[in-house]
Amino acid sequence: MAEVRAALVAAARALEAVSDTPRLDAELLMAQALGCERDALLLRHLRDPEPAGFAALLARRVSGEPIAYIAGTRDFWTIRLAVGPGALIPRADSETLIEAAVAHFRGTPGPRRILDLGTGPGTLLLAALAEWPAASGLGIDASAAALDYARANAAALGAAAEFRLGDWAAGIDERFDLALANPPYIALDDGDVAADVRAFEPAEALFAGEDGLAAYRAIVPELPRLIAPGGVAVLEIGWRQGEAVAAMVAAAGLRPRIANDLGNRPRAVFAT
C-alpha cells in the first residue's frame, strides 16, 4: 500500500483536470480520510499508509463534486459550518461583508439585532454573531434544505439565531442594526460559472434573471424600513454590479458605498 505522501502526488495529478487547486484538494481529502486536520496531516502523517477510505473520496472529487460537500463542512471567517446539497457553499469573498461590518461598528458596542436575507447555511449571520455574541439575529431563506443546515450550525455554535422560511423581507416588521445579504447575482446566461458549481450547488442561490439583478430589485426597496436609525445594510454583489446596485440604493433614499474584496474588486454595497 502506498504511503500518504505518494498517494497525495498521484491524487493531485488526477485532480488537475477538475480543480484549480489540485494539491490542496488532495490534502483536504486525505485529512478527512485520516480523521485529522490538514496541518496535522502535513506535520505527522505523510509516511503513514494510505487510508482505505481515500480512494472513494478522491473519486467523488474527480467526478466534480465540491470539496465542501464531500467534507460536509466549510470554514468561514472564524467559524466552521456544516454544508451539503441544497446549501450554497460559503466563499472567502463573502468575508468582505463581515470585514466591512466590523469596520463600520468599530468603536461602538456593535449591533444588537442582525438580519441575514438569503442566509443559506447561516453563513453571514452566524459569522456576525461570532463577532458580536451579545447580539441576536434572524435569517431568512426560501430553501428548507438550507435552513436545516443553518439551524444545525446555530445549535453547534450556540448562537442566538432564529431562521425562517421566507421570500426576502416579506412579512418582516422590525428594524435591524445590521442587515446582510448575499443574494443570487449571476445572470442566467453567464458562461463563467464553473461546471461543478452549476452541477452541484442550488441554482436558486446562484442565478437571478437575465441580468443578475433580480434579487436586488426585491431587496433594496425594503431596506429603508428594515434598517434601524444608525444602522447599515451590506449587500454582496458580483464585481461588475457595483454601480447598478449603488444606483438602486440611492433611488431608495439611502446612501451607497462600495467596498472591495481582497482582490481589489467591488464585492459589497453599503446602504446607510
Which CATH number is 15's domain given?
1.10.8.10
- 119 and 231 part of one domain: yes
> How many CA atoms lie less than 13 Å away from 264 in the CB half-sphere?
0
* φ and ψ of 40, to 5 deg: -65, -40
Residues 31 and 142 in one domain: no
| Percent of the chain whose predicted confidence (pLDDT) is above 70 | 99
Q: Does residue 47 share a domain with residue 165?
A: no
Instruction: Assess if residue 141 is contained within a domain.
Output: yes
Same domain membership, residue 173 and residue 137: yes
Least confident of 25-39, 70-84, 193-207, 257-271: 193-207
Q: In the chain, what's the furthest Cα-to-Cα distance? A: 66
Q: Are residues 130 and 192 in the same domain?
A: yes
Model pLDDT, residue 191: 64
* Confidence at 163, pLDDT banded by 50, 70, 90: very high
117 and 59 both lie in a single domain: no
Band the pLDDT of 62: cuts 50, 70, 90. Answer: very high
57 lies in the same domain as 96: no
Q: What is the mean pLDDT of residues 131-151?
A: 98
As for how many domains the chain has, the answer is 2
Does residue 80 fall inside a structural domain? no
Give me the pLDDT at residue 55, please. 97
pLDDT > 80? residue 125: yes
Q: Are residues 95 and 208 in the same domain?
A: yes
pLDDT (mean) for 5-12? 98
Confidence at residue 154, expressed as pLDDT on a 0 to 100 scale? 98
Residues 22 and 99 in one domain: no
State the residue range of the domain holding 28. Answer: 4-63
Q: Which of 234, 232, 238, 246 is nearest to 263 (CA)?
A: 238
Rounded distance between C-alpha atoms, residue 139 and residue 125, angstroms: 7
- The rounded distance, in Å, linking the Cα atoms of 110 and 258 is 21
What are residue 178's DSSP bridge partners?
A: 114, 232
Q: Tell me what pLDDT residue 189 has.
A: 81
